[in-house]
Amino acid sequence: MASASNESINTAMGAQEWALLILLSVLWGGSFFFVGVAVTELPPLTIVTLRVALAAAALWGIALAMGLRPPTSAKVWLAFAGMGLLNNAIPFALIVWGQTQIASGLASILNATTPLFTVVVAGLLLPDERATPLKLLGVALGFIGVVVMLGVPSDGGSSSILAQLAIIAAALSYAFAGVYGRRFKAMAINPILVAAGQVSASTLIMIPMTLMTEGAVNLTAPSLETWLSVLALAVLSTALAYVIYFKLLASAGATNLLLVTLLIPVSAILLGSLFLNETLGLVHFTGMALIALGLSAIDGRLWRRWVVAKA
């Protein structure tokens, strides 16, 4: 994978990249609300399949309107398939299965291990994203912040070690996807085409998987509210989100990009406070502060200035 992208990236993100990362966390944090509405009337894998299929349609519509054309190279489409497998099909299926047996809060905490895996995987496979003690400290602080903010849910009787391992395996898959996706910068493919190609490949993978496990679903039964949620999930939390994802991946790298998994719980909790009248407590602000401290350590600039000032 290291040879897939020999162009260096900005290990310290600028203001624009931080803004895009925060926007991405809001889009993916909002997906929990949309899924929560849709899952009351549709099976989980059906939601995933509709999500990627509708996102693919939206992205190809945008691409064609911009005058972009689908790549014709088999090598490029094979790369799209690999990305779709690592970034959607495998982790989506593992997370959905895992959440049938463990609490969603615990699943969120386990999913927040993604940056930990990414620091290791990217450090081993990408020469310009080597792990540093400051990055490792930052990821550890951020992860502790997530645990503090969400709490550690009780296992209960339905919890399963295998289900927890499934969520961790999904996080590892996301880490490999972040590293694998760096190859698209070297291929000089527009981020919209990369996003469209990935979700198209994911759709082709998910359709047979969904039909085998859930069968055909009556799509006329769900309410308008459910369909609006699915549409928002596809257009905002998938199509738009993946355009930002691949743009950030090309400029900021896998390690910085997957910090978004630490920010998603912050976005989800803030959105719940703003729109669902949920209350924020001291524990939430403490967790957010730890996450902010961790992010600043991974970015490194403020910490390096502090060291220079102390010297």
Confidence tier at 111 by pLDDT (50, 70, 90): confident
Provide the pLDDT for residue 61.
93
Confidence tier at 96 by pLDDT (50, 70, 90): confident
Asked which of 27-31, 194-198, 219-223 is least confident by mean pLDDT, the reply is 27-31
Query: Looking at the predicted structure, is the pLDDT value of residue 168 above 80?
Result: yes
Q: Which range has the top average pLDDT, 104-113, 228-237, 280-289?
A: 228-237
Provide the pLDDT for residue 5.
44
Confidence tier at 84 by pLDDT (50, 70, 90): very high
Provide the pLDDT for residue 1.
39
Query: Looking at the predicted structure, is the pLDDT value of residue 156 above 70?
Result: no
Cβ 237 vs Cβ 50: under 8 Å: no
What is the signed CA dihedral for 132, 5, 8, 298, rounded to 10 degrees? -30
Cβ neighbours, 10 Å, residue 23: 16
Asked which of 25-39, 63-77, 149-163, 208-222 is least confident by mean pLDDT, the reply is 149-163
Query: Looking at the predicted structure, is the pLDDT value of residue 127 above 80?
Result: no
Tokens (6 digits) for 69: 């054309």
Give me the mean pLDDT over the 72-80 stretch.
Answer: 92
Query: Looking at the predicted structure, is the pLDDT value of residue 216 above 80?
Result: yes
228 or 268, which is more confident?
228
Query: Looking at the predicted structure, is the pLDDT value of residue 304 above 70?
Result: no
Question: How do residues 172-186 score in pLDDT, each as one tens digit?
Answer: 999 899 889 888 877
Question: How do residues 269-287 score in pLDDT, each as one tens digit?
Answer: 676 667 666 666 777 678 7
Q: Which residue matches tokens 């600039």? A: 301
Confidence tier at 153 by pLDDT (50, 70, 90): low
Provide the pLDDT for residue 109.
67
Q: Minimal CA–CA distance to 96: which of 1, 228, 210, 197?
A: 210
Q: What is the C-alpha to C-alpha distance for residues 146 and 201, in angstroms, rounded to an integer?
A: 32
Provide the pLDDT for residue 279.
63
Cβ 246 vs Cβ 84: under 8 Å: no
Question: How do residues 3-18 score in pLDDT, each as one tens digit?
Answer: 344 445 455 677 788 8
Cβ neighbours, 10 Å, residue 168: 17
Q: Which range has the top average pLDDT, 1-10, 165-174, 249-258?
A: 165-174
Confidence tier at 106 by pLDDT (50, 70, 90): low
Question: Across 111-171, where does the E strand assignment appear?
Answer: none
Q: Which residue matches tokens 């386990």? A: 110
Q: Minimal CA–CA distance to 255: which of 104, 48, 93, 114?
A: 114
Q: What is the C-alpha to C-alpha distance for residues 168 and 50, in angstroms, rounded to an integer?
A: 25
Q: Minimal CA–CA distance to 4: which of 163, 177, 218?
A: 177
Inter-helix orientation angle 282-299/301-310, to 10°: 80
How far is residue 2 CA from its own chain's centroid? 21
